[in-house]
Structure 1
């Protein structure tokens, strides 16, 4: 346990107490640390008033950050690499997820024909939103299996009940998605999971290493102009990660808004249990994990193949280190 926060840190007032935060699919367990920080009052405790804007997928929250309509984003780490490659100084300040926790599954009625990503050619793949990490993971699996990233249609199906309906109504053949959507479809017998990055073993099987997943990211100049605000945001997320480390699935289900349970509490409990391994323990992405992510993006995205991104510029460690020590 970290000791009590030292008085100077508490005495410091945030430069920008009113913060707008973008997220792509808040109900997903991928973003659970955000909901924990919000519902447990950790932002308020830090003297922050955080307004959360929920967009359909990660690509949209990134656009909002670049366009200036949000200050910070909880989203996939890979966006920091992409933006650095484009000369935009966007960095992560704390790691929330250490494994992507994305599963790729096929509709049960197609499971005898579709056994690996090599069989995805010509199919419709449902993702949270095109350009988001669920889409990229599906495309990466295809490229790794010898197909082109364009060999299947990528279709945005949103993050909650709409994603469940897309499989049940056969609008898509394959789904690259996250819990609780995956667990719901698994429990109902609608899908067969082919690739599972909720665990370390599954993540290594696809990516060859751990892969930083959800992070809090922001423009570097926001962190430089608002160091106290940024520190307070990171402190709140760190507290959420610490709470999640020992929380029982029942406590999580009691905390989140009822609609997150997709009308099935026992199923949500199972989903929480299967996702708990994926949350970051330290708040700091490992160098190996960042490299593994960059290598997979280079393979997938022609724009990044010959890029030369300094990975140390994709993650500011100082805030998470300070939050850990409680100083």
Structure 2
């Protein structure tokens, strides 16, 4: 199953969702540090069990940090999976989880809508090995941005990384705002995107990482463009914590960010075969009945900054982009959006 959403209705849907989320955030702001349903701390103690959402067949940096022993007394409680970054950070905002991760542009929109969250460490990005390619069948007549008018572009969610990259490509190739609106982003679960493309249900498939390499191994696809083509190496998404959580649990926040930062560096420096083997062990141990065959294609988390340190450009690029699109109704500052105060690698990069 997949869902086609035209640009105009999508914008209204996103705006409504952000408004609801902002109201929910206010309602949750005075709760205990663990949020609704938390098994959080007793009075005077900090919360050490953190609820989160995972990804099927993948190992997140936080899960890797826990397995490597980098989180100290912190334990992670998996409550389910998600394919949507915006949904993940909304869950963190409303207190259904304790942390979440999303494309930085989605974080900007949520903070601008009043969500009391802050990005604390990068967790995914783009490099020569880890990138999102926009693919068509090898025999497709599509060869340019203009050919995409009226076509369905399959992606995991709307209002996030993949749609922003698509729009940046269309604009760079000279399409007018009216023409851009005629290109049709279409929501498809990542595990079904390749199949949907080959079956002709969509015209272009946005594929990244393991799913991209697995599809290319089968052949018959041609890359139209990629986010790496457009912007080179950059950190694209961050993990967020609620402001009230940081205030009430400063030691936990510091330990969590340090652990994730160290896990990111371990994944960069350890032999790839060792990292993949570790991922396979983690997937086996957590017992979620997942297919781990695709994990062998893993190459990189793509995070640019050392230890996931957030750079100004990781957010300022998307502030400008959203403002040009008319999607940023309220100005936000970089200090509203992120902090590196808990990252042990901040001094090494001059922060």
Q: Which position in structure 2 is the counterpart of 1:253?
A: 276
Change (3 A) 1:253 1:211: closer
Query: Residues 225-244 of structure 1 correspond to what in structure 2 (within 5 A)?
Result: 225-244=248-267
Between the aligned partners of 1:321 and 1:36, the Cα distance in structure 2 is 17
The TM-score with structure 2 as length reference comes to 0.73
Matched, 1:213 2:236: yes
- CA deviations over 1:258-298 (Å, ceiling 9, x no partner): 7877635xxx54x433x365454232122233222222232
Q: Which position in structure 2 is the counterpart of 1:154?
A: 185
Between the aligned partners of 1:281 and 1:311, the Cα distance in structure 2 is 19
Gap runs ≥5 in structure 1: 1-12
Deviation at 1:165, TM superposition (A): 2.0
> Contact between 2:234 and 2:303, CA under 8 Å: does it hold in 1?
no
> Contact between 1:96 and 1:280, CA under 8 Å: does it hold in 2?
no
Q: Which position in structure 2 is the counterpart of 1:3?
A: none
Change (3 A) 1:173 1:41: farther
Cα root mean square deviation, aligned: 2.8
Q: Which position in structure 2 is the counterpart of 1:190?
A: 220
Change (3 A) 1:216 1:322: same
Between the aligned partners of 2:107 and 2:204, the Cα distance in structure 1 is 27
- What secondary structure sits across from 2:157 in the alignment? coil
Q: Which position in structure 2 is the counterpart of 1:291?
A: 316
Between the aligned partners of 2:255 and 2:242, the Cα distance in structure 1 is 16
Count matched residues.
Answer: 291
- What secondary structure sits across from 2:224 in the alignment? strand
Matched, 1:104 2:134: yes
Gap runs ≥5 in structure 2: 1-43
Query: Residues 32-181 of structure 1 correspond to what in structure 2 (within 5 A)?
Result: 32-43=60-71, 46-52=72-78, 53-99=80-126, 101-110=131-140, 113-145=141-173, 146-148=175-177, 149-160=180-191, 162-181=192-211
- CA deviations over 1:281-316 (Å, ceiling 9, x no partner): 2321222332222222323x4221x64220122111
Deviation at 1:62, TM superposition (A): 2.4
Between the aligned partners of 1:18 and 1:124, the Cα distance in structure 2 is 42
